Amino acid sequence: MTVDPSMTQISAPAPADVHVSLRKVVRTFVLPSGLPLHALGPIDLDIGRGEFFAVVGPSGCGKSTLIDVLSGLSPPTGGDVLFEGKPVHGVPDGVGVVFQEDASFPWLNVRDNVAFGLRRAGVDGAEVKRRVDYAVGFVGLNDFSAAYPAQLSGGMRQRVCIARTLVLQPRLILLDEPFGALDQQTRLLMGDELLRLWRETSATVLLITHALDEAAMLSDCIGVMSSRPGRFIDFVRTGWARDRDNRVVSTPHFGEITARLWDKLRTESMKIMGVQSPSSPGPR
């Protein structure tokens, strides 16, 4: 499938039960020099309830800005964000975010890190214990539950953050390159665990990643973003069964998906390299 080059904005086929919507969302920043920076949009996007949606795009295309806007951390400059039909102003209830950077609390051990959100939400002690036990086991940190983040590897700390988000049972989970600090084998295993969790909770997941194979293996639908200002230039429906696992990587269809993603991204990534290369002639 090719994209009509005259189209500036492509919409994903609207899902039956829309959970999250972006309507003409634009985000601009004012640089310290006073000049505006158009980071994102316009974006129109509908993500269905319970859908696993991945976003891939060249570096600096506004993927993290997309998470900030979706989670209500930073309001869009223009357009509307809707979560469960209601406009997003500030962080809504039921949204969990795993950030790209290590966000574990260094003064709390693994258990207390995972329990932090539950305690803030006033969940009673026995229930906190039950859910923390499950979440710590889920990310494979049972043997480290009394350890402090400084004693853990970067990948383990990121798993603490994943457990800390999952334990709150959010209805929308936003993941900003959560496996970036993990080695390839752990990535694959965590990917499977994420799929297992997604099946069990029926949460809607939006995963930002730069790994095309990760996006192709995990998602129902993949949105490909352009270089800045980030907009969607393609949507790929994978058609995987809900009970998929990492074995899909050996199917021919997986190869087709990644080939198509790469085909779209190559042009965008080259644009970025061309712009950033000091030897390239500037725009006239």
Binding site for another protein (CB under 8 A): 71, 73, 90-91, 93, 95-97, 99, 101-103, 105-107, 116-117, 120, 148-150
CB of 258 to another protein, least distance (A): 30
The candidate with the shortest Cα–Cα distance to 216, out of 180, 187, 258, 178, is 258
Of 12 and 178, which has the nearer Cβ to another protein? 178
Of 170 and 195, which has the nearer Cβ to another protein? 170
CB of 134 to another protein, least distance (A): 19
CB of 194 to another protein, least distance (A): 18
Of 99 and 262, which has the nearer Cβ to another protein? 99
CB of 196 to another protein, least distance (A): 23
Of 107 and 134, which has the nearer Cβ to another protein? 107
CB of 112 to another protein, least distance (A): 11
Of 177 and 220, which has the nearer Cβ to another protein? 177
- Residues 69 and 233 sit within 8 Å (Cβ to Cβ): no
Of 70 and 188, which has the nearer Cβ to another protein? 70
CB of 93 to another protein, least distance (A): 7
User: Mind giving me the DSSP string for the chain?
Assistant: ----TT-S---PPPPSSEEEEEEEEEEEEE-TTS-EEEEEEEEEEEEETT-EEEEE--TTSSHHHHHHHHHTSS--SEEEEEETTEE--SPPTTEEEE-SS----TTS-HHHHHHHHHHHTT--HHHHHHHHHHHHHHTT-GGGTT--GGGS-HHHHHHHHHHHHHTT--SEEEEESTTTTS-HHHHHHHHHHHHHHHHHH--EEEEE-S-HHHHHHH-SEEEEEPSSSB-EEEEEE----TT--GGGGGSHHHHHHHHHHHHHHHHHHHHHHHHH-TTSPPP-
Of 103 and 189, which has the nearer Cβ to another protein? 103
